[in-house]
Amino acid sequence: MGVIDSRRSTRCFDTRDIPDELIQRILEAGIRAPSGKNRQPWRFIVSQRNDKRDYMIESARNKIIRMLEDSPSRNDLHMTLETFDIMKTAPVVIYVLYDNTSFRTQIPSDTGWSMAATDREALDLMAIGAAVENMLLKIEELGLGGLWCGDVLYAYQDFVDELNSGYVLLSAICLGYKSGLPGKTSRRPLTELCKYI
């Protein structure tokens, strides 16, 4: 299966910068994902190494450290700190955002089925997930490493205030040249996950 089989979550990057042309190709792969009624609800903010990015990630780290003072045994917070450290070392972080203004588009009532906003949101979020996967596969195809980071949600307001986009932050993708090869992770057998009817 090519890049689907070879793709791994990369947590160690070397210091080389990523050419803008490669970043563009990764973003173009993302926007080629399918979306319900072609709403294309994804938005992206590209952040390369700079003082603003360092400040934003450090501010988020400090919030997690304060949370750990109250709950030192929370493993999820320790793992989030590790993710923020990875974000600081990655040459590029792409923030993945959701333009939820598409809710203003109403499905005609004469279709016989009405869709709640939560249903449309679920479809939009799946589309954004497809965009993220396209980007991760393109990163692998280009010989780079990528890491999908949901931990930005632990410091949601810190990131949203700094990004100042007006959109809903969902996750981030760290990318750069791999420093070492990530190990292969196990997957549950297909027989546990799928049935034929």
18 CB-contact burial (10 Å; exposed 0-12 / middle 13-18 / buried 19+): buried
H-helix segments, 2-143: 3-6, 20-30, 51-70, 75-89, 117-141
Sequence letter at residue 165 = S
Q: Which of 193, 178, 173 is nearest to 131 (CA)?
A: 173
H or E, element range at 157? helix 156-163
What is the predicted pLDDT for the residue at 126?
96
Residues 175 and 94 sit within 8 Å (Cβ to Cβ): yes
HSE toward the beta carbon, residue 132, CA cutoff 13 A: 23
Residues 72 and 90 sit within 8 Å (Cβ to Cβ): no
Write out residues in the chain with pLDDT < 70, as ranges.
1, 102-117
Residues 18 and 91 sit within 8 Å (Cβ to Cβ): yes
Which residues pair with residue 172 across a beta bridge? 95, 149
What is the predicted pLDDT for the residue at 1?
65
Domain spans, the chain: 3-193
What is the predicted pLDDT for the residue at 7?
85
DSSP 45-66: EEEESSHHHHHHHHHHHHHHHH
What is the predicted pLDDT for the residue at 6?
80
CATH 3.40.109.10 fits 3-193, yes or no: yes
> Measured between alpha carbons, how far is 170 from 128 in angstroms, rounded to an integer?
9
DSSP 129-140: HHHHHHHHHHHH
What is the predicted pLDDT for the residue at 77?
95
List Cβ neighbours of 26 (8 Å cut-off, separation of 6 or more). 94, 135, 138, 139, 142, 175
